[in-house]
């Protein structure tokens, strides 16, 4: 079995910038992280990566030049798994705002993009949003995002969404972090309801959360 993982790493030395690094899994072992370098990483912060199932598109948040807010969502493409990454492209005003957009999470089929935003009109410190696209191969074909609603978003801070589809169990769950103002974060899960469109209500995953 082989696999790939892209992670955000913060160096021990100052100044502190978060960059993206890649690891591969083969023969039951993970390789050492390798910095993706330019043009993905810059002197700014790149974080919250989400790699498409085919390994050819990489979504992430960055506060580098060319954005419209404190953090924007970007996507980089490569022609093949052994090809170099092309220069990242900003997802544009359809997705990004003058606020902060971070933590993209792409669904396995490539049609859904979940992310965190502090934009105006939200319910809390940060909320989770969802954008759809008809063509899973169109990296800039995203529709205007919508907030996930009160089943997921609250006056607290919701972030770090991961959308998991279990074909064998027939379940679809969204996992994310929720932290009240000044408090610590817990992991929550929201299931797709029978209408196939609504997530929630979210409940704490007690098996994964620290009791204090």
Q: What is the pLDDT of residues 96-144, one digit of tens each?
A: 999 999 999 999 999 999 999 999 999 999 999 999 999 999 999 999 9
The number of residues in the chain equals: 212
Query: Helix, strand, or coil here: 127?
Result: strand
Nearest CA-CA partner of 199 in 142, 129, 146, 149: 149
Q: Which two tokens stand for residue 11?
A: 């160096």
Cα(90)–Cα(84) distance, integer angstroms: 18
Q: What angle do CA 86, 44, 119 make, to 5 degrees?
A: 95
Q: What is the pTM of this model?
A: 0.89
- For the stretch 159-181, pLDDT in tens is 999 998 887 877 889 999 999 88
| Domain spans in the chain, listed from the N-terminal domain onward | 3-147
E strands along 29-96, which residues?
A: 29-30, 34-35, 46-51, 57-62, 72-77, 89-90
CATH number attached to the domain at 3-147: 2.120.10.30
**How far is the CA of 30 from the CAs of 5, 24, 25, 198, in angstroms?**
9, 6, 4, 36
Whether 174 and 114 have beta carbons less than 8 Å apart is answered as: yes
**What rounded mean pLDDT belongs to the chain?**
89
Q: What pLDDT sits at residue 193? A: 67
């Amino acid at each position: 079995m082989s696999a790939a993982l892209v992670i955000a790493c913060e160096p021990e030395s100052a100044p502190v910038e978060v960059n993206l690094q890649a690891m591969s899994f083969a023969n039951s072992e993970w390789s050492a992280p390798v910095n993706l370098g330019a043009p993905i990483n810059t002197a700014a912060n790149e974080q919250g990566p989400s790699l498409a199932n085919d390994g050819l598109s990489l979504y992430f948040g960055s506060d580098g030049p060319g954005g419209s807010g404190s953090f924007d969502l970007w996507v980089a493409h490569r022609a093949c798994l052994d090809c170099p990454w092309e220069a990242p492209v900003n997802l544009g005003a359809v997705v990004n705002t003058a606020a902060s957009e971070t933590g993209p999470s792409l669904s396995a089929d490539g049609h859904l993009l979940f992310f965190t935003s502090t934009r105006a009109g939200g319910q809390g410190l940060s909320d989770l949003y969802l954008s759809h696209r008809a063509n899973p191969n169109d990296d800039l074909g995203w529709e205007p995002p919508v907030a996930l609603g009160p089943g997921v978003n609250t006056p607290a801070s919701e972030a770090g969404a991961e959308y998991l589809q279990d074909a064998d169990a027939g379940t679809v769950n969204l996992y994310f972090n929720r932290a009240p103002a000044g408090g610590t974060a817990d992991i929550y899960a929201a299931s797709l309801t029978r209408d196939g469109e609504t997530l929630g209500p979210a409940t704490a995953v007690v098996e994964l959360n620290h009791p204090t």
